[in-house]
Amino acid sequence: MTSLSSLGHDERSARTVLSLVAAPNDPSTGRLVDRVGAVELLRLADADGAVPGLDKIAAAVWRERLHTVSSADTLATQMATFERQGLRVLIPGEKDWPAALNDLGARTPYALWTRGETALLAKPLADRFTLTGARASTAYGDHMAMELASDLALSGRVVVAGGAYGIEAVAHKSALAAGGRTIAVLAGGVDRAYPAGHADLFARIEQQGLLVSEAAPGVAPTRQRFRDRGRIMAALSSTTVIVEAGARSGSLRVADEAVELGRSVGAVPGAVTSAASYGSNILIQDRRAHLLTGSEDVLRLVSTTREY
């Protein structure tokens, strides 16, 4: 019978396996892979001895989680299929791996699945900007997202967003319309369009930008995966811009992640009577975000961000 460790004969294949079986954004697994490497981690997963940093019960639970996703034989078939489909995997240290993600420490993705121009990930951090916000955006929010994304694209910057309806869709479309480059960070596999209504948009992004995800191909997005994705959107860019966000918008989590990473954060103010701008206004009021009125303000924030 095939074992997990037999599939991971080197760091690249081992991290690929890990991306298929391990929960993302898991500091325990992240610390272990940093400490012993992915090849040794899979060997520990197949064994029954001690696991560094985990007591006996925690180690047993950790092993069970890794082995309940799919059998090793199924994983071997999946990996062969993904290779035939031309889906690319990037791991830390490889060409085009975005060094900025390493700031996540134990929460760094084990690997990234990609479709499109991976060289966008190797650009200087100052060249990437994350734009995110409300799915149920207003005409005002859409206008501001279009203006910001277009200006950034025309200045040669890469617009990063999450491929969702609302602000993110406008950001992607505006960057593409300006002849620029854009990256969509997906919560599910790069081989499935979510939302389904953005299938054509994702096809255009693949041709003129990049689709990227830590989730394995075929994986459906979940609430937790959307939350986990926020750290990647924040880490990839020098600056995160919240264009419009309600009180419970998931985009506020991206802003929180950016603040924790020491990245610049900006927000576009809205009317105090607009529920769609409540979250972005609070970010400004609490001084967690700089007030932005246009792309010039966004570009000025870059100087406060660590370079790579």
pLDDT at 304 > cutoff 60: no
Strands 112-116 and 209-213: antiparallel
* Mean pLDDT of the 236-241 span: 97
Query: What rounded mean pLDDT belongs to the chain?
Result: 93
pLDDT at 76 over 90: no
Mean pLDDT of 168-172: 98
Q: Is 203 a residue whose pLDDT tops 90?
A: yes
pLDDT band at 306 (very low <50, low <70, confident <90, very high): low
Parallel, antiparallel, or unpaired for β 88-90 and 112-116?
Answer: antiparallel
CB burial class (10 A; 0-12, 13-18, 19+) of residue 223?
exposed
Asked if residue 75 has pLDDT above 90, the reply is no
Note the pLDDT of residue 1. Answer: 45
**How does DSSP assign 107-164, residue by residue?**
GS-S-EEEEE-GGGGGS-GGGEEEEE--SS--HHHHHHHHHHHHHHHHTTPEEEE---
Confidence (pLDDT) at 69: 66
pLDDT of residue 70: 67
The Cβ of residue 215 has, within 10 Å, a number of other Cβ atoms equal to 24
Considering the chain, what percentage of its residues have pLDDT values greater than 70?
97
Section 203-219 average pLDDT: 96
pLDDT at residue 51 tops 90: yes
In the predicted model, what is the mean pLDDT of residues 253-272?
97
Contact 187, 213 (CB under 8 A): yes
Give per-residue pLDDT as tens, 113-151: 999 999 999 999 999 999 999 999 999 999 999 999 999
Query: For the segment 10-41, what is each residue's pLDDT rounded down to a tens digit?
Result: 999 999 999 999 999 999 999 999 999 999 99
Lowest mean pLDDT segment, chosen from 85-89, 147-151, 293-297: 85-89
Average the pLDDT over 230-245 and give the result.
98
- Tokens 């910057």 correspond to 157
Q: Which amino acid is at 301?
A: L
CA 74, 76, 81, 83 torsion-angle sign: positive
pLDDT at 67: 79
Residues 6+ apart with CB under 8 A from 241: 129, 130, 131, 132, 148, 265, 266, 267, 268, 292, 298
> Which uninterrupted H or E stretch holds 67?
helix 56-67
Are 257 and 230 spatial neighbours (Cβ–Cβ below 8 Å)? yes
Q: If residue 63 lies in a helix (H) or strand (E), which one and from where to where?
A: helix 56-67
Q: Mutual orientation of helices 199-208 and 167-177 as an angle, nearest 10°?
A: 40
* Cα–Cα distances in angstroms (integers) from residue 100 to residues 60, 103, 238, in the given order: 33, 6, 9
Is a pLDDT exceeding 90 seen at residue 159?
yes
Instruction: Give percent above pLDDT 90 in the chain.
Output: 83
Model pLDDT, residue 2:
63
DSSP code of 51?
A: B
pLDDT at 178: 98
Q: Are 247 and 278 in contact (CB under 8 A)?
A: yes
Q: Find, among 29, 74, 4, 11, the residue nearest to 228 by Cα.
A: 29
